Chain A
Amino acid sequence: NAGVTQTPKFQVLKTGQSMTLQCAQDMNHEYMSWYRQDPGMGLRLIHYSVGAGITDQGEVPNGYNVSRSTTEDFPLRLLSAAPSQTSVYFCASSYRTGRTDTQYFGPGTRLTVL
C-alpha cells in the first residue's frame, strides 16, 4: 500500500491564483482530513470528511473548498491564494477500531504564496 499520497510536494503561487492540492489514500479509510501547519501553532484542521459525499468545516475553513466524490480522494482547493495561506498542508486519513482512531498523515505540501 502507498498509504496517503499528496501532490505536489512544493508549490509557489502568486496572490490571487487558484490551485488544487491532491490527496489520495489506498487504505479504504472512511475519514479524511486536511490540516495546515504554521510555526508555533501546531496543526489546525481546515476541512474533514466522514465518507464519500460528506464534508464539514474545521477550525480554519475560509479560503478553502473540498469535495469527496470517492472514498480514495480528497482534494483541497485554494480559491484565490493569499500570502496568509503560505503554510505546510497535510492530508490525513483514519479508520476507527472500537474506540480507537488511528490517523495516517501524508508527506505534506509546502506552499508559498507571493
Chain B
Amino acid sequence: GQQVMQIPQYQHVQEGEDFTTYCNSSTTLSNIQWYKQRPGGHPVFLIQLVKSGEVKKQKRLTFQFGEAKKNSSLHITATQTTDVGTYFCSEGNTGKLIFGQGTTLQVKP
C-alpha cells in the first residue's frame, strides 16, 4: 500500500534557526497535506498541495510539492518557541489519509 516516509524523526534547533522536514514516497502522490500537532494536542490542518511543483507560503512557513509529486517539504524560517510540536505529512482524500511518522521539533529559547 501507499507509504509516506518522513525525515527527520526529531529536530532540535535554537530559536531563530531554520527548520525543514521532508516527506517522500516511492509512488506518485495525488496530493499532500501538512498538519501540526502541539504536545498533548490533536493534529491541526495547515495546508494541502495538489499541483506538481506547487509552492505555498503561510507567514514563516513554506510548503513545496515536488515536480514528480513524490516528495514534499515544509520549511520554517527563523523558528520561534511557538513552532514546537510534531509536523505530519499525509496523502489521500475522502476521509482516507495515510500519514508519515512525523517530525518532532524542539526549539531552545
Interface positions of A (Cβ within 8 A of B):
30-33, 35, 40-45, 48-50, 56, 58-59, 90, 92-94, 96, 99-108
- Whether the pair B42, A100 counts as a contact (CB closer than 8 A) is no
CB < 8 Å neighbour of B93 from A41, A44, A56, A96: A96
- Whether the pair A108, B95 counts as a contact (CB closer than 8 A) is no
- Whether the pair B31, A99 counts as a contact (CB closer than 8 A) is yes
Summed over the interface, the residue pairs from A and B with CB atoms below 8 Å come to a total of 73
Q: Would you call the interface of chain A mostly helix, strand, loop, or mixed?
A: strand
- Whether the pair A32, B101 counts as a contact (CB closer than 8 A) is no
Q: How many residues of B contact A (CB 8 A)?
A: 26
- Whether the pair B101, A42 counts as a contact (CB closer than 8 A) is yes
- Whether the pair A42, B88 counts as a contact (CB closer than 8 A) is yes
Q: Report the nearest A residue to B93, measured CB to CB.
A: A101
Question: Contacts A48-B94, A103-B33 given; 9 further ones with Cβ under 8 A?
Answer: A42-B100, A43-B43, A59-B1, A93-B95, A99-B31, A100-B48, A100-B50, A102-B48, A103-B97
